[in-house]
Amino acid sequence: MSAAILSIACGMCLLSSCTDDNKQTVSPTDDSSQFVTLTTAVPDAILEIRYFGTYNFVGSRIDGYLEPTALLTRVAADSLRAVSDDVKRLGYRLKIYDAYRPQCAVDHFVRWAADTADTLMKDYFYPDLDKSVLFDQEYIMEKSGHTRGSTIDLTLCDMASEKELDMGGTFDWFGPESHPDFCGNPDTGEYTGDNSKSPAQRSITPEQFEHRMILRAAMMRHGFKPLSSEWWHFTLANEPFPDTYFTFHVKQLN
C-alpha cells in the first residue's frame, strides 16, 4: 500500500444501481429542511450527475432529477467536506455521481428492471448479466439508502491531470468487478490479483485497486461506511434519518 493510503488509513474512525439495506420505513416525507445543496458545503466537488442525463444504466433521465445538482443531509455534507479537504492535500478532488435520490427515482429503476425487453444500455453496464436476474441478485431494490439522504456515490479526480483516477471500472457496473474486494483485500489494502469471481475473467491492475483504496480510506476516516458490492458507494455511519425515505425532487435548495 502506498504511503498516501497509509497516511489516511492510520486515522480511520471507522455499508443501485446503488441500493443497500432495506430498513423499516416511517411515513415518507417531502421535508428538505435538513438538507443542503452539496456544492454549498463542498465547493471543490465536481458534479457529474448521471441520473440527470442519459449515460446511465437506464439510458434516460431518471424521474425526480429536475436539475444536475446534488443534495445531502447537513451532517453528511459536513463530513464530506472533511473528506474533500483531506484528499485535496493528496492532490485529488471529489467527483460526485449521485447523492440524495428521491423515492420516485427508485420507483423508476424498479419499473425499468421489470421491463426485461429494455436492454438499451446492457453493453455498457451489465454485459455479463441477463436483465431478469437484477431483482434476485439485488442490483435493483424497492428501497435505497440514497433516499435517506446521507449516501453518496463518488470517485476521485487528479488535480494535476484534471482527469478521473482510473478505478478499473465504471460507476454503476453490475458485477463482481465493482466489489471493493475484487482483486484485493480492502481491509489490508493488499492487491492479490484474484479475479476468479469475474464471469468474463476481467481484472484490475494494482494501480487501479490502489486508487479504490485511497477513496475508501478517506471516506472511512471521516465517518462513512462502505458497501460490499460497490467501490463508489458510501453511507454516513451516524446518518440522521436511518428510517426515513424522502420524496422531494433533486433541484437547487434555497
**How far is it between the farthest Cα atoms of the chain?**
49
Three-state secondary structure call for residue 194: coil
- Separation CA 187–CA 226 (nearest Å): 11
Catalytic residue among 177, 210, 230, 239: 230
Grid cell, residue 228, equals 460490499
β-pair type (184-185, 92-98): unpaired
Torsion of CA 130, 136, 139, 144, to 10 degrees: 150
Contacts 24+ apart (CB under 8 A), 130-137: 134/174
Note whether 163 and 241 are within 8 A (CB): no
| Cell 458545503 belongs to residue | 41
- Separation CA 7–CA 233 (nearest Å): 22
Sign of the alpha-carbon torsion through 187, 193, 195, 201 = positive
Judge whether 230 counts as a catalytic residue. Answer: yes
| Residue positions annotated with a catalytic role | 230
